[in-house]
């Protein structure tokens, strides 16, 4: 179980970083999404992995699963979802504006500048 979760986090992170480094907006969006998934799973696992345990401590149950990371992950998921949505819109707008999906779109500012 630990091995499975750990390698999932590793795989997601590796894929996310690879896509981020592609410097094209669509892979960057996907890469960020994968990276935040990895972080969310990681955060979740930080409350220790427990199967079939209630999230509250009672006298009868043999143990409990930590409810706090679950609450944290819920917050983090909502935030990262919003951020991804914003990034998608931004990338689309940049593409329509410049006809290029490269992260370094050429701007007028690059053509000017420099000493005279």
Partner 1 sequence: MRPEVALPILIPLLAGALSLAFWRSRAMQRGIGVVGTGVMMLSAWVLLYTTWQEGYLVMHMGNWPAPFGIVLVADLLSAIMVVLAGITGFATAIYSLATLGKRHEHFGYYPLMHLLLAGVNGAFLTGDIFNLYVWFEVMLVASFALLILGGERAQMEGAIKYVTLNLVSSALFLSAIGLLYGLIGTLNMADLADKIAQLEDPGMVKVVAMLFLVAFGIKAAAFPFFFWLPASYHTPQVAVSALFAGLLTKVGVYALFRVFTLIFSLEDPFTQNVLLWMAGLTMLTGVLGAAAQYEFRRILSFHIISQIGYMILGLALFTPLALIGGVFYIMHHIIVKANLFFISGLIYRLKGSYELRELGGVYRSHPWLALLFLIPALSLAGLPPLSGFFAKFILIRAGIEAQAWWLVGVALLVGLLTLYSMVKIWSEVFWKAAPPSAGKTPEPRTRNDALLYLSIGGLALLTVLIGLGAQPVFVLAEQAAAQLLDPRGYIEAVLGGEA
- Interface contacts to partner 1, rule CB under 8 A: 20, 25, 28, 32, 35-36, 38-39, 42-43, 46-48, 68-69, 72, 75-76, 79-80, 82-83, 86-87, 90-91, 93-94, 97-98, 103-105, 107-109, 112-116
CB of 17 or CB of 61, closer to partner 1:
17
* Contact partners, residue 50, CB within 8 Å, separation at least 6: 63, 64, 65, 66
CB of 54 or CB of 84, closer to partner 1:
84
Q: Find the shortest distance in angstroms from Cβ 34 to partner 1.
A: 10
**What is the C-alpha end-to-end distance of the chain, expressed in Å?**
64
* Contact partners, residue 67, CB within 8 Å, separation at least 6: 47, 55, 56
């Amino acid at each position: 179980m630990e091995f499975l979760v750990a390698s999932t986090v590793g795989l997601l992170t590796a894929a996310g970083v690879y896509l981020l480094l592609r410097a094209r907006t669509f892979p960057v969006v996907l890469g960020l999404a994968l990276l935040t998934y990895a972080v969310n799973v990681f955060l979740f696992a930080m409350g220790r992995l427990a199967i079939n345990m209630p999230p509250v401590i009672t006298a009868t149950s043999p143990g409990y699963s930590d409810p706090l990371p679950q609450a944290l992950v819920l917050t983090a998921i909502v935030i990262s979802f919003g951020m991804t949505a914003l990034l998608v819109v931004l990338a689309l707008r940049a593409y329509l504006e410049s006809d290029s999906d490269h992260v370094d779109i050429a701007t007028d500012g690059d053509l000017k500048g420099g000493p005279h």
